[in-house]
Amino acid sequence: MKTKKIVTLLAAASIITGLTGCGGSNDNGNNKPANTAQTTDSSNTPAATTENEPAATNQQPAADEKKQLEISTIQGTWASPLPDPNGNGAKMINEKFNVDLKTQFVPYDEYANKLPVVMAAGDLPDVIGMEGVDANFVKWAKQGAFLPLNDYIDKYDAIKNIPKNVWDAVTVDGKIYAIPNYFPSKYGKKPIIRQDWLNNLGLSMPTTYDELKKVAIAFTKNDPDKNGKNDTLGLGLAKSIVYGAWMGAEWDSGWYHKNENGQLIPGNISEGFKKQVTLLHDLYQEGAISKDWAVTKSADARKDFFAGKIGIFYEQPYDISETRFKTLKETNPGAELAVIPPFVQEDGQQGFTGLSGFYELHSLNAKMADDPDKIDRILEMINYFMTFIPVDQRNDQNPEYDWQYGGVGKGYTMENGVALSIDGAFSEMPTTYFGIRYWAPTDEDTQPAMVLQDPFTKGFVQSAVDLLKTTKTYLDPVNRIHSDLLYAKVSELDQAVVEHTTKMIVGQEPIADWDKMVEEYLNAGGQEIIDDVNKLLDENGIAGEWK
């Protein structure tokens, strides 16, 4: 399971610029940033902040009233080709804010290796972008590379509205060291099902694991697409148990369960996760998941789902590719999709594990501490691009939106009232050059269905949003603290769990050995991690919570 992947995926409610990858949702529920390239759908498009404001509310002084400042940045990007550092969007920023912007873009496939070299050299840009919080971020913050921002953020309306649980994620030893980019916690990957297959077979939406097992087997053996062929599978599973069959926080890999000492523990060694593995074992024995799943990439499993070969998979209702949905509908005209509601848990709760609430972040160089003018100018720019523009005002009639995206006909076009990016126009859009997204007052304010053109995709997204609007979200507390032990050891320990659980699913190890696997995990350093994580949670007054 991808215990440290997040979904990305990125954010935007109107224009899809292709600059950043989106972290998909739960990838088994834990949301620490990691390599999100495999799950990238699109882009870097601002997302939101002060409620229902039609445009930025913080007035900038006229350019000639401020001293011109040179501002340098480095950031990762998914855009291809790379934006031109001297493109029209950069020139527009220079003119509006009276700056000389020096931006360096690095493909995210190379950024994890490039940034440590830049940091080690010591001559840092003024603004440093990162994909997520990791051991390097914490190390560099503790070493004094980044400027503490606690004393600045209350001056900026958009920035100060970032919720505390997100600030916690970028806080080290009580100091805020970055401004995170918005990504909705509710709208990551969720289990979806072919509703038309349920209808064809006279089956109801599954509400328990026993019912899910029955449905997945029927999808495999009872010709759910009515084409007279034995060519379907119940559930799309990929190597490392990506996505799997988590139907709520109890069965996910986030830190939800507690041990006999009352300590939170990672979900992948919990009894809830064992139940999921048991189901997958049973489905494998019944032929309801691919016999080659252990070597199948998640992208290939997704491809099979949208080719109409699989009945249950995972998708997100936010920042998605309409192309995949249109392909499914063209080849399967009767296709209907629905999100499977979370199952009622043994503790009575019912909801999915949420994402961390952000994807990507921007830190400021600590060497600017004695240059308040530059700090203010940078934060002013970030605040401007972060200020929420409601979805129905993201069009050529809104001068702020039109400017941010380079102008209609240059950076975007209007189609049926929706702003659509022009392929390859990254360099035309000012919003490209700081990579900031609007901070939405609530996830519902993103209104992801409004920015879609394809009726089938639009219908699915709206139905998913309607369901998730009233569905609880569990906020994993581990996203809000920084454990050096966790960063150092968890990948190796999680990989060992993946190997054991993979063997259990295919029958090479008995599920009865679950406790033996857990003991191995704990003895190999897992208990030390659990002790450290719970100590940090207690010290900071942080606990898992539902919202």
Q: What are 313-358's pLDDT values in tens digits?
A: 999 999 898 999 999 999 999 999 999 999 999 999 999 999 999 9
Residue 355 exposed, middle or buried by CB count within 10 Å (0-12, 13-18, 19+): buried
Q: Is the confidence at residue 273, as pLDDT, over 80?
A: yes
Instruction: Evaluate whether 165 touches 133 at the Cβ level (below 8 Å).
Output: no
| CA–CA gap between residue 358 and residue 438 (Å, rounded) | 11
Span 282-294, mean pLDDT?
98
**Tokens 């921007």 sit on residue:** 362
Residue 353 exposed, middle or buried by CB count within 10 Å (0-12, 13-18, 19+): buried
Calculate what percentage of the chain has a pLDDT beyond 70. Answer: 88
Q: Is the confidence at residue 132, as pLDDT, over 50?
A: yes
Q: Is the confidence at residue 147, as pLDDT, over 80?
A: yes
CA torsion sign for 160, 164, 170, 174 is positive
pLDDT at 57: 41
Lowest model confidence (mean pLDDT) among 17-31, 229-243, 438-452: 17-31
What is the architecture of the domain spanning 69-184+357-441?
Answer: 3-Layer(aba) Sandwich (3.40)
* DSSP classification of residue 280: H
Structure tokens at 363: 């830190």
Instruction: Evaluate whether 488 touches 135 at the Cβ level (below 8 Å).
Output: yes
Sequence letter at residue 388:
F
**Tokens 């996760």 sit on residue:** 273
Q: Is the confidence at residue 50, as pLDDT, over 50?
A: no
Give the confidence band of 65 by pLDDT, cuts at 50, 70, 90.
low
* DSSP classification of residue 181: E
Span 302-312, mean pLDDT?
97
Q: Is the confidence at residue 284, as pLDDT, over 50?
A: yes
Span 275-295, mean pLDDT?
98
Q: Is the confidence at residue 125, as pLDDT, over 80?
A: yes
Q: Which residues of 19-49 are buried (b: 16+ CB within 10 A; e: fewer)?
A: bbbbbbbbbbbbbbbbebebbbbbbbbbbbb
186-228 tens-digit pLDDT = 999 999 999 999 999 999 999 999 999 999 999 999 999 999 9
Q: Is the confidence at residue 265, as pLDDT, over 50?
A: yes
Give the confidence band of 263 by pLDDT, cuts at 50, 70, 90.
very high
| CA–CA gap between residue 476 and residue 467 (Å, rounded) | 21
pLDDT at 51: 31
Which residues touch 260 (CB under 8 Å, ≥6 apart)?
A: none
Span 414-443, mean pLDDT?
94
Give the confidence band of 80 by pLDDT, cuts at 50, 70, 90.
confident
Span 359-364, mean pLDDT?
97
pLDDT at 66: 77
pLDDT at 188: 93
Q: Is the confidence at residue 45, as pLDDT, over 50?
A: no
The number of residues in the chain equals 547
Lowest model confidence (mean pLDDT) among 124-133, 288-297, 417-426: 417-426
Q: Is the confidence at residue 43, as pLDDT, over 50?
A: no
Output phi, psi for 488, to 5 deg. Answer: -75, -35
Span 423-437, mean pLDDT?
94
Instruction: Evaluate whether 493 touches 529 at the Cβ level (below 8 Å).
Output: yes
Class of domain 190-354+454-540: alpha beta
Q: Average pLDDT, whole number, for the chain?
A: 89
147: nearest Cα among 438, 384, 363, 431: 363
Q: Is the confidence at residue 280, as pLDDT, over 80?
A: yes
Give the confidence band of 122 by pLDDT, cuts at 50, 70, 90.
confident
For 487, the 3-state DSSP assignment is: helix
363: nearest Cα among 36, 156, 131: 131
| CA–CA gap between residue 328 and residue 317 (Å, rounded) | 16
Residues of the chain with CATH 3.40.190.10: 69-184+357-441, 190-354+454-540
For 523, the 3-state DSSP assignment is: helix
4-14 tens-digit pLDDT = 333 333 333 33
446: nearest Cα among 44, 49, 2: 49
pLDDT at 525: 97
**Host H or E run for residue 505:** helix 484-506
